[in-house]
């Protein structure tokens, strides 16, 4: 039988859970916090060591936070159950940061969208296109995924873009995507697609308020740039 190391194998003063109880979560390192989620290590590592290996493998906490179950499960010592626990923890963190008081956020500036999505979109290695659905008070109903991959007319089609908007009966939408290069400046394809979707929205009676491009630490609003009237 394969022996598995647990946090209890560590000296009591080095156990993350005990340290969290005595000194608070803020005092723990990233590997220690992840180790509490993992609970056990593998045949060669404690949970803390396995957590450190995870962080090293993905390069940063941000990259780890954007990893999916398949990517996490591919790491030795991380099965499907542990991968799901990690994904769930990061998703709860994102939701807590986006809806601190339980009310629907009011989208009254492009910076609100940037604050909501920068931690999710900035680390991604491929372009991801999303649509924020709003009601008549500019309250956020939800943000839906449309497509992943380099933006083109074939990938970002009005049918897919407005499908959820029509289903939800929303009043307006904001288009959102990231630039993995880190530079949020709009390309000619970005501008062309935006104008196509604005016209499609007019036909459907759904206002396209903005198209926000998120880079590594900044964003561009195509409305502020005068591309959307």
Strand duo 172-178 + 207-214: pairing:
parallel
| Together in a domain, 92 and 174 | no
Number of separate domains in the chain: 2
Q: Is residue 226 part of a domain?
A: no
pLDDT tens track for 121-179: 888 888 999 999 999 999 999 999 898 876 654 468 899 899 999 999 999 999 999 99
CATH number, domain containing residue 75: 1.10.150.20
> Quick one: 124 and 212 in the same domain?
yes
Backbone angles phi, psi at 146, to 5 degrees: -110, -50
**71-81 pLDDT, tens digit each:** 899 988 898 99
**3-class SS at 125?**
coil
β-pair type (172-178, 128-134) = antiparallel
pLDDT in tens, 79-135: 899 999 999 988 887 776 655 555 678 999 999 999 989 888 888 888 999 999 999
* Max Cα-Cα span within the chain: 67
Are 130 and 210 in a shared domain? Answer: yes
Per-residue pLDDT at 114:
94
Instruction: Classify residue 173: in a domain, yes or no.
Output: yes
Specify whether 212 is located in the same domain as 115: yes
CA 138 to chain centroid, in Å, comes to 22
Q: What's the pLDDT at 10?
A: 57
Domain carrying residue 20: 7-98
- Please indicate, yes or no, if residue 57 is contained in any of the structural domains: yes
Q: Is the Cβ–Cβ distance between 35 and 72 less than 8 Å?
A: no
> If pLDDT is split at 50, 70 and 90, which confidence band does 20 have?
confident
Q: What is the DSSP string of 73-91?
A: HTSTT--HHHHHHHHHHHH
Say yes or no: 86 and 139 in one domain: no
Q: Using the 3D structure, point to which of 98, 119, 146 is the last residue of a domain.
A: 98
């Amino acid at each position: 039988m394969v022996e598995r190391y647990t946090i209890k194998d560590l000296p009591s003063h080095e156990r993350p859970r005990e340290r969290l109880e005595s000194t608070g979560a803020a005092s723990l390192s990233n590997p220690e916090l992840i180790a509490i989620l993992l609970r056990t290590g593998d045949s060669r590592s404690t949970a803390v060591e396995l957590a450190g290996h995870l962080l090293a493998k993905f390069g940063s906490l941000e990259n780890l936070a954007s990893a999916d179950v398949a990517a996490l499960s591919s790491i030795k010592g991380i099965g499907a159950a542990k991968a799901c626990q990690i994904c769930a923890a990061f998703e709860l963190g994102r939701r807590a940061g986006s809806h601190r008081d339980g009310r629907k956020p009011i989208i009254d500036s492009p910076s609100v969208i940037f604050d909501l999505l920068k931690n999710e979109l900035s680390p991604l290695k491929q372009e991801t296109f999303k649509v924020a659905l709003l009601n008549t008070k500019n309250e956020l109903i939800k943000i839906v995924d449309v497509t992943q991959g380099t933006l083109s007319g074939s990938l970002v089609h009005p049918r897919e873009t407005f499908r959820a908007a029509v289903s939800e009966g929303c009043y307006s939408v904001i288009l959102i995507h990231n630039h993995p290069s880190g530079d949020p400046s709009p390309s000619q394809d970005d501008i062309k697609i935006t104008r196509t979707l604005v016209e499609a929205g007019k036909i459907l009676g759904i206002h396209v308020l903005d198209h926000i491009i998120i880079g590594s630490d900044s964003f561009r609003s195509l409305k502020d740039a005068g591309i959307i009237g």
